[in-house]
Copies of this chain bind each other. A is one copy, B any other.
Amino acid sequence: MTLSSSGTVWNFAAGPSRLPDAVLARAGDVLFRRGADGAAVIERPFTGNAVRAVLESARERLTQLLDIPANYHVLFLAGGAMHQFSAVPMNLIDPASGLRTAAYADSGYWSRRAMREAARFAEVSVVARHDGSQALAAPAEDNWRLPQGCAYCHITANETVDGLAYPAWPNTGDVPLVADTTSSFLSAPLDIARFGLVYASAQKNIGPSGMTVVIVREDLLRRPAQSAPSPLCYRLQAEQDGCLNTPPVMAIHLAALVFQWIAESGGLSAMAEANRRKAELLYRAIDGSDGFYTAPVIAAHRSITNVRFHLADVSLTERFLSDAEKAGLIHLRGHRHVGGLRASLYNAMPLAGVTALVNFMAEFKRCKG
């Protein structure tokens, strides 16, 4: 592989994805070096003080970053967002209290996956979807008609595959708003109080795969969750501080390092500002290419973390990908369900990576345009 002029290879994968250099540099020592007690952290009992301190520190750091209100529980659970696709209805549907229906907004690939899984465990009502116009957009956030006996309303805050995001949160009144925030989590501040439950799998802005953050409002833990496997039951896990069974210590410890890196880098407002600048640079390159590149999502609903675009001449796509790879710009292929191109610009991607990409795009256009 020929490196870009900076000598660096930039990894634009949608997740698992690039981690902060500072975290990678420390991770081996933190996880695998034995301490004075003869044990590395991953060799210690999870019931002991040392591991509990790791879990507590991860929780405290995340609570500070997001300013999570005191009436929410923060859980670090094994598995991915897909585990939560089932866990959410299993925990929140409560037929005995008349809460039989789950409302879902259809905004793209992952919201439909979540909905399909929920339909195995609940009556699902689609309460919002894209308006059918040609330009891609998230559902408009007003005028949602929630069904009677609605246990919760689920949105996918940022659609990783489709490259679109909600510009504002819908108002669901007394019905708890549940959000899969996997690919936007920690990319910007998030007003947790707007939600009944927020979840995000790790492999975007949190760390390697294998763990999912669940932030759940206390009152929702009173629902019976009769059909949920115990380790997927929010109440049981909250009662045991996420340690009903052995937690994925390695993934949680790395998350704590990432949380620390975010705090030291200025916190979530600094992340948001940097992410906005990166996305702006790339979208401007696309929009200013005289139609050589196009982005299918309307401007107000464009994701700042997953920038989706394509070449007007789709026959150039494979050449673009192979030339980009030669220039040290990798994993730019769009998801197989939508095709085209996608650059994921999570927190760990510096502006320099995006600059390298837009420079390459200009050069590619100069040669092929």
Contact = CB atoms under 8 A, between A and B. Distances in A.
Interface in A236-257: 244-251
Interface stretch (A40-48, A142-150, A170-178, A289-297): A40-48
Contacts of A10: 38
Given A36-B1, A79-B79, A87-B229, A210 B19 contact: no
Which of A14, A27, A45, A46 has the most chain B CB atoms inside 10 A of its CB?
A: A45
Contacts of A250: 208-210, 250-251
A85 interface: yes
Contact of A11 (B29, B39, B245): B39
A18 B14 CA distance: 34
B37 A32 contact: no
Interface string A36-62: 111110111110100100000000000
Contact of A43 (B19, B25, B28, B51): B19
A316 interface: no
Interface centre among A16, A45, A250, A330 (most CB of B within 10 A): A16
A9 interface: yes
Interface string A168-205: 00000000000000000000000000000000010100
A231 B82 contact: yes
Nearest to A244: B82
A249 to B, nearest CB: 6
Contact of A245 (B17, B38, B82, B87): B82
B16 A249 contact: yes
A8 interface: yes
Given A14-B45, A34-B24, A79-B231, A210 B249 contact: yes
A28 B229 CA distance: 34
Interface in A341-358: none
Which size bracket describes the interface of A in this complex? 35 or more
Interface in A61-114: 78-83, 85-87, 90
A32 B39 contact: no
A39 B245 CA distance: 32
Contacts of A203: 246
A216 B311 CA distance: 46
Given A28-B29, A250-B250, A37 B330 contact: yes
Nearest to A229: B86
A232 interface: yes
Contacts of A29: 28
B31 A249 contact: no
A24 B43 CA distance: 10
21 contacts: A9-B34, A13-B43, A17-B43, A19-B40, A24-B32, A27-B28, A28-B31, A42-B209, A78-B79, A78-B83, A83-B231, A83-B232, A90-B229, A117-B230, A203-B246, A209-B246, A209-B249, A210-B211, A229-B229, A248-B248, A250-B251
Interface of A: 1, 8-11, 13-19, 24-25, 27-29, 31-32, 34, 36-40, 42-46, 48, 51, 78-83, 85-87, 90, 117, 120, 201, 203, 208-211, 226-227, 229-232, 244-251, 328, 330-331
